[in-house]
Amino acid sequence: MSKNWDAIIVGAGHNALAAAVHLGTKGWKVLVLEKADVAGGAVKTTEATIPGFYHDLYAMNLSMFAGSPFYAKHKNLLDDAGLSFTGAGKTFVSVFPDNTWLGVDSDLGETSKNISRLSKADATKWKQMVADFPLDAKYIFTALGTPIPSFAFVKILWRMWREKGIGHCMNMAKLMVSSPRNWLNANFENDKLKAMMAAWGMHLDFGPDVAGGALFPYLESMACQSFGMALGQGGANTIIRAMQTVIEANGGEVRVNSNVEKIITNNDRAVGVLLNDGTQINAGKAVIACVHPKALYGKLLGLKDLPPPAKLRPGPATMMIHMAMDEMPKWKAGTEPGQYAYVHIAPDFEYMANVYTQAMDGLLPEKPILVVGQPTVFDKTRAPDGKHILWVQVRALPYNIKGDSAGKIKAGEWDDIKEDYADRVMAILEQYAPEIRKHVIARKVLSPLDLERDNPNLVHGDSLSGSHHIDQFFLFRPAFGYSRWKTNVHGLYNIGASTWPGAGTGAGSGFMLACALAGE
């Protein structure tokens, strides 16, 4: 006889697993169903190139998870289940065409010294910003961990007004709506420092002149300075394995290779799911879909007239290049960049603006933004002795290719041109790290189309499951009236990066929904 499940979760991304963990600790019996052969969604670690080299396929930085309310709540359970982080004190660095660099070290003295070489005034401003950050972080991160709209969210704004005054509140509001260029120009004088911070906006879909894009460069720069960066020991999937262990210990189950064909409803209420092999599984209290709203309302509910959440606009696409290396890159800027977790190649506003505009116009950028992850600097277990891995994220790209800004690659499908474009990326890397190609043992290229095939939630190869521009954030994620994870079907909920509070590894949507369902 089949087991009685209180909740069924469709999809096994980290938000889904976080919801299952929390509900399991409250006595719920939860079944998680995943169509792929492994859980994790965009948090996966595989031997993508050759055996013995463990690559984080998509997400590498776990700082949001390590600092999340979910992890704080269940830290002991997860640590006992094997979760382990590796700290990176040297967090991110930008390299520049003149063979210089600028990076953020969790040692404030080191960062200040780096900035002082360029501008003593900027170093002073940086230190003041770091000193002010804890109070800002208290309100910002609390807001990002609070359902919206809600009385609790209004209370956060009220407390900030009472404690800091109207002037500070207006400055925060200005930060929220400013473009990276405008905010950085208003606060700093050196162009390299501005570029170093603005690169974080391109991790989402904020070109230098996109309104609302200043928040992420501010948060990431200050958080990396204040807390360092957290990587997964042995790979990012340490959080996935630990959550699976906890779920099973609480009587739940995570089933892979289980493709949900549709969500079953009765009298406008979700009551279970139907698998593609004809198996029907009932849910006593809730069905939770950790999928893109387009898949939820279109495929799983079979609606022809799709509601607003299903029309969530994707951001620009992403390519991933994973490399097994016989040695680390030798950066022309010196030995220091090789000591950081992330190396950004995004040298100025013009460079970033060109990439963003070209991608949004459907053109392959001549010089894309590159984020080079160097995890084996901090975690030797990811590669054989003396060997290394590189994690290269290529941003921003078109999904449908209309042409090439450089006029060298013919417009076509990603399957036909991805290796050629990866060669362009390698040529750019070689300008900053000569002869890097000689030290590549093997490489794996994942195009935007490959991302979407592997994880349908990454619609159009958007690694963030939907643009984070202001019209699709806060109350508008995934659409106005749907930001609290409810759908137009009773007992059916939608979580994941497409929902509030958006992308990243913070497990916010899964944890907040689970708390609400548990009556907390």
- Torsions phi, psi for 352 (to 5 deg): -65, -40
The pLDDT score that the predictor gives to residue 160 is 86
Predicted local distance difference test score (pLDDT) of residue 257: 98
Packing angle of the helix pair 238-249, 14-25 (nearest 10 deg): 30
3-state secondary structure of 252: coil
- Please report the pLDDT score of residue 2 as a whole number: 58
- Give the model confidence (pLDDT) of 133-185 as tens digits: 998 888 899 999 999 999 999 998 888 888 888 888 888 899 999 999 999 99
Average pLDDT score, the chain: 97
Q: What is the DSSP string of 166-229?
A: HHHHHHHHHHHH--HHHHHHHH---HHHHHHHHGGGGGTT--TT-TTTTHHHHHHHHHHHHH-E
Q: What is the pLDDT of residues 393-406, one digit of tens each?
A: 999 999 999 999 99
- Which residues, other chains included, contact 509 with Cβ-Cβ below 8 Å and sequence gap of 6+? 15, 485, 495, 496, 497, 499, 500, 501
Which residues, 6+ apart, have CB-to-CB distance to 316 below 8 Å? Answer: 205, 356, 359, 360, 395, 396, 397, 398, 399, 462
pLDDT digits (tens, 9 = 90+) for 208-266: 999 999 999 999 999 999 999 999 999 999 999 999 999 999 999 999 999 999 999 99
- In the chain, the domains with their CATH numbers are 5-43+57-84+235-311+465-517 (3.50.50.60)
* pLDDT given for residue 1 in this prediction: 37
| Residue-wise pLDDT tens digits, 267-307 | 999 999 999 999 999 999 999 999 999 999 999 999 999 99
pLDDT in tens, 37-90: 999 999 999 999 999 999 999 999 999 999 999 999 999 999 999 999 999 999
pLDDT tens, residue by residue, 9-46? 999 999 999 999 999 999 999 999 999 999 999 999 99
Which pLDDT score is estimated for 171? 86
pLDDT of residue 235: 98
pLDDT of 469 above 50: yes
- What pLDDT does residue 138 have? 87
Q: One-letter amino acid identity for 455?
A: N
What are 417-446's pLDDT values in tens digits? 999 999 999 999 999 999 999 999 999 999
Work out the percent of the chain whose per-residue pLDDT is above 70: 100
SS (H, E, C) 130-168: HHHHHHHHHHHHHHHCCCCCCHHHHHHHHHHHHHHHHHH
What's the alpha-carbon Rg for the chain, to the nearest Å? 22
* Helices 120-144/215-227 angle, 10° precision: 100
**CA 500 to each of CA 267, 288, 289, 441: distance values in angstroms, whole numbers, following the listed order:** 28, 15, 14, 41
C-beta separation of 252 from 22 below 8 A? no
pLDDT attached to residue 3: 79
Among 89, 112, 115, smallest CA distance to 102 is for 115
Q: What percent of the chain has pLDDT over 90?
A: 94
What is the structure's pLDDT at 361? 97
**pLDDT tens digits for 183-221?**
999 999 999 999 999 999 999 999 999 999 999 999 999
Q: Which helix (H) or strand (E) holds 275?
A: strand 270-275
